[in-house]
Chain A
């Protein structure tokens, strides 16, 4: 009963315009990382699971890597989050997480290992990928899908509009994010069975 309540409360999704849930999680290479330390910088959160076909779609097509590269160039902090529970698809320890990114040429600033799913629940992360954009004041500016075409087919990427890319551009120009929310698509986040 208490677990249900907690998970329910935890699944109250962060709404754009509201403060992003704070977090402190172990990263693959840089020890503990928390949201506060990025004050003043735009932060992108990317929920991922290397076994998920929807994640593969964006990595195999080099789509995610390009976004990460652009973020780095603009001093935007890109954080991958792995909320797969041990034994579940996509679960990774520090070594595996690092290795995965080296293999696919991905360069996120950090990889967070959210084994217990606490951060995922705090953000109500539902799918891989599921994207969040947080501004320098710690406000959520975008919550949703990576792009407009929910499919696992890489051929759809050129025809889709990338929500994250659009949000980052609009924020850079000092404007409002036009699409603040979309329905994330992909595999369900592989949380521990509750």
Chain B
């Protein structure tokens, strides 16, 4: 107990030593603080001038803007110790009438790294003295100064000082970062255009390092175009007299109340850096927004092209393997129309189109709503659930059995899409359309990268319009029947040829079943395939019993048995949920976002990125065996590592570029970022040990 008290006393006096006495001047309170309990020879000791300013008063950034003076520190340090440059917090614009200053309000922390020489004697305490001068202003300005000092032991090891360490670390992580962004500037019609490539998202303000280069009070116009950030600046007097070769400064990006500072080194551009179109966007001067607003920036011609591609893509979709079964289904229903009157044919085509369009719109709306809610979803997302896929597989299997002739479609058992879609008349056609879209969905992405990519980034109304155009394309061949009903009328009257045709089509259905079963195997593993197999057998038994009941004129016991078999058929599918819900224990994942990544890098937060795709078997294996385990959830939580998912299930140029930057061409790719610099590439087959080793190393 006594020992503990001694230790506590030692700790308290020690902690006290690393915090200098606060000095109150007219409008500020200032003190020196050290991050650690001791200065370690050969290492850098981080200290800071911590100020608490009177409300409304401000001090100045290194370039104070139109008036003002930056902080000046005159150090008196032990022999061989050196103080580095002042690390300023991120500045703010402080307008004063027509003038604008760059400065700090509230509680600014000015960082100073102090180099402790190698071999400096340990065991004693040293005193660091500084004469600090600053100008503090409300609208009137008062020069203030203070002699501040800090006593700190010199020792071989050091621990963080509670309070001080948090404040200094917060200041360090908020300090401007060099992200290595490429930047250039040029003179454009009497103003300066600064072009910065790959700037993170956020509302930008540029603070030049030197006064006289840029007029501080002039508003800055900004535009984001083609991946570049453009900032229009008004040249200051020094710039006008002697145009510089370099324009250096700090780019501050504000998003959701958070700011990051990025250091910019911009040489004068050799060639032009801004196109007429970009110039127009910059002249419009609208503050840069996220990509979602890019609709307005898209010229009408390009918009027309996107809609054109969407319609064309929809037509081509009819020939894609995943839509085949539906095409066959549709074809057989069209075959039944042979000899029907025009009005019926027309009605049928319109109903099908309506089914397609309504489903497209509904799915697009649902997708956009889920994405707006922050979910990581691509087009075809419903097939990411093994239950949905399993359900589809069984339905398609049943359609196959029906086409093969095991049972006929009666009026009972309405409700399941397949049965309903074979109902004669408009309702059946409507549901065929619905089914076509649901099944076709996963094929759409790869085929229609451009319109889909555009739609997902566009405002909701435009996105839905693009999806409707796709749907229109998908339905177009049948819509032609509405316009030219004689095409369908030309078909021979229904007869034995139709039975044979249906039997032939059943094989297409079974082919689709094989594909869906494969998807389930990826999603739910061997266990999932087993459940699906049981479901198939039960469904076949149900269909057979149902067929028997039809032969027996609808015998009740057979009907009950058939319904029972159907229930049994779908029951095992719910088991797929259980295996899918393994993700419930998974790490909280974020969608891949390069701006967010840059921010996290700047903050020094470690980030793990999982470049994956639903169709990538290795990815799914790693996900199931390693990534989505309680162990990983705990590891990510403990190390504060952010889990980002870059899903390439649908084409995404941003993700593709990111993969190519690592010299790879496909998934899986696992990257681990820790602060600045290049990421570490993890092996393609992950192990829990390797993950632990990587994440815990830092």
Contacts and interface: CB of A to CB of B under 8 A. Distances in A.
Contacts of B238: 181, 183
B678 interface: no
A171 interface: no
Interface string B52-69: 000000000000001111
Contacts of A194: 97-98
A188 B99 contact: yes
A188 B211 contact: no
Contacts of B219: 4
A188 B241 contact: no
Contacts, number: 89
A188 B69 contact: no
Contacts of A88: 139
A188 B237 contact: no
A127 B67 contact: yes
Contacts of B139: 88-89, 188, 190
Contact of A11 (B69, B98, B142): B98
B67 A188 contact: yes
A181 B66 CA distance: 14
**Which of under 10, 10 to 19, 20 to 34, or 35 or more describes the interface residues of B?**
20 to 34
Interface string B208-223: 0001100101110000
B98 A187 contact: no
Contacts of A180: 241
Contact of A183 (B97, B101, B212, B218): B212
Nearest to B212: A183
Interface residues of A, number: 38
Interface string A38-54: 00000000000001111
B662 interface: no
A186 interface: yes
Contact of B141 (A7, A150, A187): A187
A16 B141 contact: no
A126 B67 contact: yes
A131 to B, nearest CB: 13
A89 B211 contact: no
Given A10-B98, A11-B98, A191-B97, A151 B66 contact: no
B77 interface: no
B69 A181 contact: no
Nearest to B94: A188
A95 B257 CA distance: 50
B138 to A, nearest CB: 10
Contacts of A166: none
B67 A185 contact: yes
A64 interface: no
Contacts of A8: 217-218, 234
For the residues of A in contact with B, the DSSP-based class is: loop
B212 A53 contact: no
A124 B234 CA distance: 14
A117 B97 CA distance: 10
B140 interface: yes
Given A16-B241, A152-B135, A187 B97 contact: no
Contacts of B97: 117, 188-194
B217 A188 contact: no
Interface in A11-42: 11, 13, 15-16
Interface string B233-259: 010111011000000000000000000
A60 to B, nearest CB: 13
**Residue among A10, A13, A54 facing the most chain B CB atoms (10 A cut-off):** A13
B98 A143 contact: no
B571 to A, nearest CB: 69
B143 A121 contact: no
B212 A181 contact: yes
A181 B237 contact: yes
A127 B139 CA distance: 12
A170 to B, nearest CB: 17
B158 interface: no
B98 A185 contact: no
Contacts of A153: 133, 143
Interface string A160-194: 00000000000000000000110111111111111
Nearest to B142: A53
B10 interface: no
Contacts of A54: 141, 143
B281 interface: no
B71 interface: no
Interface string B28-45: 000000000000000000
B235 to A, nearest CB: 10
Contacts of B212: 181, 183
A13 B237 contact: yes
A189 B133 CA distance: 22
Contacts of B237: 13, 15, 124, 143, 181
Interface string B112-142: 0000000000000000000001010101111
Contacts of A127: 66-67
A4 B211 CA distance: 22
B369 interface: no
Given A121-B98, A151-B69, A185-B69, A15 B241 contact: yes
B68 A188 contact: yes
Interface string A117-130: 10001001011000
13 contacts: A8-B217, A8-B234, A11-B217, A13-B236, A13-B237, A15-B240, A89-B139, A117-B98, A126-B66, A127-B67, A181-B241, A193-B97, A194-B98
Interface of A: 4, 7-8, 10-11, 13, 15-16, 51-54, 88-89, 117, 121, 124, 126-127, 143, 150-153, 180-181, 183-194
Interface of B: 66-69, 72, 96-99, 101, 133, 135, 137, 139-143, 211-212, 215, 217-219, 234, 236-238, 240-241
